Structure 1
Amino acid sequence: MSDPILFSDTYITISYNATLDCISADWLGFQNLQTVQEGCERILEAMVEKGCTKVLNDNTHVEGIWSSAAEWVGMDWFPRMRQAGLKCFAWIYSPSAFSRLSTDKSLRFTNDMNGIQIFDQMEEAEAWLAGILEKSA
């Protein structure tokens, strides 16, 4: 059975992963400041709505650079995610070198890196989140 979709648009699909008790975000295609901000706000809303403390942020389908949003992600959105209860954020790199640079730039603007991990593969990110789930059980 697939995870229930909470929000979907051309640039992102957000669902609730009951197995990992997390919000799953699958970003799609080219991103810009507007799509990143809108998608991030939807992730925050979904996290609050579901009472989740974990996010699986999948960038494997992202293409190109989106560094215009990096400072906003690191200095505005991540602190608000923390205030809303975020504890674990698994971020899966895009195969695009430019997208990876944007991810890295976002993290340079992030003051509190506790609970944020970067992965190259979905399986690694899921295993990390599953390990967090086991520790909290």
Structure 2
Amino acid sequence: MAAKTIDDGENYTIEWDDEIGAVVFTWDTYVSGAAFREGCEALLDAIERRDAAKVLTDTRGVSAHDAEDQQWMQTDWMPRAHETGLEYSATVHSDSVISEMDVENMLDGMEGGTAEPFLTSDMAEAREWLAAR
């Protein structure tokens, strides 16, 4: 993977991957509340700075999201991400039904026009999907 680190936060890592032309966001640990929102805002900033249309989010280290964080992501963050020009969003979840359902529930409630989503537990599959866009 030809990636360059953009931001290495306490709970996340953000990279630019030339190979797939996408911002790659990795949660290093489970967080909620202010720490979750801080990471999401850093991702939004990276999307804006790179003028990125694609993002790959690696949530394999997180099994579920707090309900308040899901609500904020759906009604506040995603509409703003869409306004930046985000068109495609691949999310890699851990290989568990609970993790998959958590990500699906979050995406089901998105408002304000969402990026075309792709969910998988396979990083190579997510990268291939984004590279084709």
TM-score (ref. length: structure 2): 0.87
Equivalent-residue separation in structure 2 for 1:97 and 1:32 (angstroms): 21
Whether the 8 Å contact between 2:86 and 2:115 is mirrored in structure 1 is: no
1:120 deviation in Å?
Answer: 1.4
1:130 is aligned to: 131
Residues 64-117 of structure 1: CA deviation (Å, up to 9, x unaligned)? 543330011111111100100000000111245554443233212213455111
Residues 28-80 of structure 1: CA deviation (Å, up to 9, x unaligned)? 22221222211111111001111111000011122454333001111111110
1:13 is aligned to: 13
Give yes or no for the alignment of 1:120 onto 2:121. Answer: yes
Equivalent-residue separation in structure 1 for 2:62 and 2:128 (angstroms): 22
Moved more, 48-57 or 59-68: 59-68
Equivalent-residue separation in structure 2 for 1:131 and 1:92 (angstroms): 17
Equivalent-residue separation in structure 2 for 1:50 and 1:128 (angstroms): 20
What is the 5 A alignment of 1:66-105? 66-95=66-95, 98-105=98-105
What 5-or-longer segments of structure 2 have no aligned partner? none
Whether the 8 Å contact between 2:21 and 2:131 is mirrored in structure 1 is: no
2:28 is aligned to: 28
- Report how many aligned residue pairs link the two structures: 132
Whether the 8 Å contact between 1:90 and 1:116 is mirrored in structure 2 is: yes
The residue type equivalent to 1:47 in the other structure is: I
TM-score (ref. length: structure 1): 0.85
Identical-pair percentage: 25
Equivalent-residue separation in structure 1 for 2:115 and 2:26 (angstroms): 22
Give yes or no for the alignment of 1:51 onto 2:51. Answer: yes
1:25 deviation in Å?
Answer: 0.4
What 5-or-longer segments of structure 1 have no aligned partner? 133-137
